[in-house]
Amino acid sequence: MGFFDEMVKHYRDFKREHGGSFNEWRKLWEKQSDVFRGFWKNKMMNHGYELSEDADLDPIIQILDVKGKRTEGRIYEGACNPFVTQSA
């Protein structure tokens, strides 16, 4: 399977799994962009703020990694699969 064929397959898999119109996806990503922007501005750039590992980072991990923090009731849609492994 060539690169183009593989990309078409991924696109079709995505459409089958997620459905939705372009406008629905745009609204979702605008919301998630706002969540990330707020996290960055109010927590990361606030030197007096101490991150609560799970409560603060879970939403960001879910946004940045399709397999990150894969739990029931996932709130955010992952943007990519960065293949970051965690060792025990």
Residue 45 is predicted with a pLDDT of 94
Amino acid present at 79: A
pTM (2 d.p.):
0.64
Q: What tens digit of pLDDT does each residue of 20-47 get?
A: 777 787 888 898 899 999 999 999 999 9
CB 69 within 8 A of CB 53: no
pLDDT tens, position by position, 43-79: 999 999 998 877 888 888 888 887 776 666 677 777 7
